[in-house]
Structure 1
Amino acid sequence: MRTSIEAEHWGLPDRIRVSGGEVAARTFGEGPPVVLVHGTPAWSYLWRKVVPVLTRQHTVYVWDLLGFGDSRAAPGIAPSIAQQAHTLAELIEHWGLHAPSLVGHDIGGGIVLRTHLIERIPVHSLALLDAAVLGPWNTPFTEHQQRYEDAYRTMPAHIFSDIISARLHTAVHQPMDDATATAYLAPWAGETGQARWLDQVSAVTFSDTIDVVDQLDRISTPTLVLWGENDEWLAPATGDELTAAIPGACQAAIVQAGHFLTEDNPHDVAHALLQFLGSTPRT
């Protein structure tokens, strides 16, 4: 069901059963299909200021990764990049899409590439935003959590919350207001949220993108690489390398933007995507 966008609320009302659990999703607008895939430690809230622009010309499909936002991984399912890519392939089949455009941020970039290259899902175009593809790409903070996972799992929840709150604020270049920070942190609140956070941290590894990197030179679909020029999590030079590795890829920098470029400069991100998607007409 296609729904409108309420300015004061963001939520994904649809629930879709997949092999790895239950996915929260939502569909907006009319036109050629575009699927948005967020990364870590975000959820679909990341796209709320981009969706209204894209829906001027496209049907936009938004979902929370398994273990993120309002989606739930089934018991025993690790929310790895490989699992998320398989889930995206299932969603594309569920929605009845043929060769949609895929947009991925952070590990979402690795997910959409793996969906195309490993799951063999045809795509119309690809957009990679501050994408975790060329490894090793885990930040020092993520590596520290993986190394001392038990310490992070057993520390008091309020202390853990303070740590990840401080970390979240480094994802942006512009100051993040309290309401926005609260929305990003909501899925990770309390002991349950702490466990969910560490479940995804322990599952995220660049080994899931090694076979993707080996096939980057086989990509023939139009590809856009967007990068926040002030990204402190994944250096902009990584975007240069990724662009060079994909035949014919184009690249643009988003000014005054950090890793969460859709927070810092949603206007330029949305219009860059709209222009790119509109420049690759369907046959």
Structure 2
Amino acid sequence: MKINGFDYLRLPGVDDVELNVAVGGSGTPIVLLHGFPQTHLMWRHVAADLASNHTVIVPDLRGYGASDKPAGDSYSKRVMAADIVALANGLNFPRFALAGHDRGALVAFRAGLDHPDAITHLMCLDVLPTLDMWDVMHGTTAAVGFHLYLMAQPPGLAEEMIAATADRFFGHFLDIWSNDPTVIPVDVRAHYLDACRAAVPSIVADYRASATIDVTHDEHDLAEGNKLRMPVMVIQQDWGAALGFDAAAHWRAWAPDLHHQTTKSGHFMAEEAPAEIVAAITELLKR
């Protein structure tokens, strides 16, 4: 499936990985990164609206969708962020705005820290930075993140378990993370499930990295006092209050120039509330 009116390219990331990338519109560039368990198609409504004023670049992350899925442990957010900077450079955009949702937001966060001269504005949807996420997940409330702990295990078991029941596993999140599952039409849902079923090892590797090397990278930046230099906007469900922590405070420690807001939308906000997200991106780009 494709975003209507967008051209599709195969563009190099790093380490000989090629990414499936949709490009549309004209004007100042913005890159949109998808989350789990989705592909670039989750941005279809937002991308179409933004394309009236911007060059909109919408890749499948490495390991997802129609992008390459290298074997092994090459799924640190540092490597995935380098992919995004490389593909933007390949389109002659050395500087660009960047918005990410879920897993894509973690890649965007790392890109903002590692490549501050490339990222003009940064938006993260419905995540905490990796180090903070592990810090707040404890007790019975951590049960909502069972998949994080499952995919953090050493290679083998998680991949076998998920592959054995892939449609039920990935479909579970599509069902429970949305306030209105009908915003993901039957054909789009089938596309997501097909894409995830074909990418179990790389999806697990992405999550495993967030329990290992990504934590190390965040700890280093925290110790060095590294922060996000660009204007940052974060939109989240109010699950911080539900789980007993101040999500905005966690983000503020990383992003001095922060605007944080909550939404009544479910997790898949780019599909449930695209007008809200487009308005937020437009506001962010004015800063």
Trace 1:181-192 onto structure 2 (pairs within 5 A). 181-189=189-197, 192=198
State the alpha-carbon separation in 2 of the partners of residues 83 and 74 from structure 1.
12
Alignment of 1:42 with 2:50, yes or no, is no
163, 174, 179: which one aligns with 1:173: 179
TM-score by length of 1: 0.81
Task: Name the counterpart of 2:112.
Answer: 116
1:156, distance to aligned residue in structure 2 (A): 8.0
Distance verdict in 2 for CA 1:170–1:236, change over 3 Å = farther
State the alpha-carbon separation in 1 of the partners of residues 102 and 242 from structure 2.
10
1:60, distance to aligned residue in structure 2 (A): 0.8
Task: Name the counterpart of 2:236.
Answer: 227
Alignment of 1:273 with 2:281, yes or no, is yes
Trace 1:3-18 onto structure 2 (pairs within 5 A). 5-6=3-4, 13-18=8-13
The RMSD of aligned alpha carbons is 3.1
**What is the SS of the residue equivalent to 2:152?**
helix
**What is the SS of the residue equivalent to 1:84?**
helix
Distance verdict in 2 for CA 1:240–1:15, change over 3 Å = same
Distance verdict in 2 for CA 1:224–1:155, change over 3 Å = closer
Structure 1 gaps of 5+ residues are: none
Q: Which amino acid aligns with 1:154?
A: E
Alignment of 1:133 with 2:139, yes or no, is no
Task: Name the counterpart of 2:140.
Answer: none
Task: Name the counterpart of 1:163.
Answer: 169
* 2:29–2:56 CA contact under 8 A, matched in 1: yes
Report sequence identity in percent.
Answer: 21
Q: Which amino acid aligns with 1:64?
A: D
Q: Which moved more, 1:60-69 or 1:70-79?
A: 70-79
Structure 2 gaps of 5+ residues are: 135-144
TM-score by length of 2: 0.80
Alignment of 1:90 with 2:86, yes or no, is yes
For this pair of structures, how many residues does the alignment match? 270
Structure (1 or 2) with the greater helix fraction: 2
Q: Which moved more, 1:166-175 or 1:96-105?
A: 166-175
1:72, distance to aligned residue in structure 2 (A): 0.6
Distance verdict in 2 for CA 1:234–1:182, change over 3 Å = farther
23, 42, 51: which one aligns with 1:27: 23
**What is the SS of the residue equivalent to 1:16?**
strand
